[in-house]
Structures are given as C-alpha cells and as structure tokens.
Amino acid sequence: MSYNQTTQTGHIGHSVEVHKVLRNTYFLLAMTLAFSAVTAGISMAMNFGFGMGLVFTLVAFGLIFVVQKKADSASGIFWVFALTGCLGASIGPMLNRFAATANGPELIMQALGLTAVVFFSLSAYALSSRKDFSFMGNFLFVGLIVVIVAGLANIFFQIPALHLAINAAVVMIMSGLILFDTSRIVNGGETNYIRATVGLYLNIFNLFTSLLQLLGIMGSDD
C-alpha cells in the first residue's frame, strides 16, 4: 500500500471515529437534557426549597469527578444520568421562583429559546467550519476562575451590578466553551463521548441559568 493510500485510509478512519463520537454525544446529550427536564419538573412539583437545591448542586459537583473517573467504563452512563438528574433537580427552586412572578413562565421559555439558538448556532459553526478553537482554552479557563471567585465574593457583598456582570460573563464563557468543546470532538481532541456529553451539558446548563437570571434582572427593571 502506498503512502497516499495509507494516509487516505487514516483520514477515513479518523472521520468515521469522529462521526461515531459526535453521534453518541448528541444522542446522550438529548437524553440527559430530557431527563434533567423531568427531574426539574419533579423538584418544582415537590416545591423543594433553595436549601434542597443547594444539596443537589453539591451532590452534582461531586458526581462530576465520579463521571470523569467512570467515563471509560460501562457504568459511566449511569453516573452521567445521576449527575444531570441532580442538576435538573437543583434548579427546581429557581424555576418555581420565576414561575411565581407575573411574566416568569414567559422568561423561562425565552431563556430556553435563547439557549437553544446559541447552542445550535455555535455548534453548527464549529461542525461546518471544522476550525480548531483550542487556542481559547487558557482564556476560558482563566475566565471561569474569575467568575467563580467573583460569584463567591458576591454571596457576601450582594452587589446587583456585580451579579449582572457575572451572569453576562458566564453567558460569554459558556458560548466560547461550546465552540471549544465541539471543536475538540471534531478535531479528535475528545474521543470519549461520555466526557464530551458532560462538557456540552454543563455549557448548556450554565448558559440557560445565566440567561434566565439576566432576563429576570432586565424584566424587573420594566
């Protein structure tokens, strides 16, 4: 077999593998998002308080590490659903708070719609262009650290302007991470669909919650 034939065979094999990872990732992502919607609905129906929401959040934080450890095993699928189920339940109290306001249901639907538009637009661009967005990695990581520190500080200071800035920054960072994570799959940087699913799920989850907070802040100014 000639060098050109070997190279062509390698490219075909790579493309098949990337397509398989993409297919499995988006299928599992759709299933976990649907499961999260169910657990969020249960959380709302049971009228969980913010204390319970915090418990689910802390459990989910621990499960992130479990999923990363189990991603290469058959049990990884179970842990992904455990993680996303807890995150769905964690936002039940926040959704109930918004739903109880005059335009709350409308704001929730707007946040869902905007999240879908941003995710599908950025994913489609990364998939079609096949650009390598790995150069954004360090910038996005630093941005995440800054946002986390600012968020923790604002728990004590409760500055409305800072709360607005944090949520706006999260929207920008999550948008960048959608490009970054999708690019990694397309270019072979991520070959494990469980890890890929968790990355994209967390991007969507944080994008939705931050957009909802922003819409709520802007709506309260009307």
Question: What is the average pLDDT across 12-23?
Answer: 79
Distance CA 165, CA 153 (A): 13
- Short-list 101, 176, 182, CA closest to 141: 176
pLDDT band at residue 146 under the 50/70/90 scheme:
very high
Does residue 203 carry a pLDDT above 70?
yes
pLDDT of residue 190 exceeding 70 = yes
Lowest average pLDDT, out of 19-23, 37-41, 195-199, 215-219, goes to 215-219
pLDDT digits (tens, 9 = 90+) for 119-138: 999 999 999 998 999 999 99
State how far the alpha carbon of 157 is from the alpha carbons of 51, 150, 160, 170, 211, in Å: 20, 10, 9, 19, 22
CA separation, residue 140 to residues 43, 107, 128, 180, 200 (Å) = 32, 28, 22, 9, 14
Note the pLDDT of residue 102: 85
Residue 116, C-beta contacts closer than 8 angstroms, at least 6 positions apart: none
pLDDT score, position 33: 97
The two structure tokens encoding residue 146 = 């800054």
- pLDDT confidence band for 66 (50 / 70 / 90): very high
pTM (2 d.p.): 0.90
The burial class, CB within 10 Å (0-12 / 13-18 / 19+), for 206 is buried
Round to whole Å and give the CA distance between 70 and 147.
Answer: 28
Which tens digits make up the pLDDT trace of 78-103?
Answer: 999 999 999 999 999 999 999 998 89
Residue 9 predicted with pLDDT over 90: no
Residue 7 has pLDDT above 50, yes or no: no
Of the candidate ranges 7-11, 17-21, 145-149, the one whose mean pLDDT is the lowest: 7-11
Please check the confidence at residue 6 and state whether its pLDDT lies above 50: no
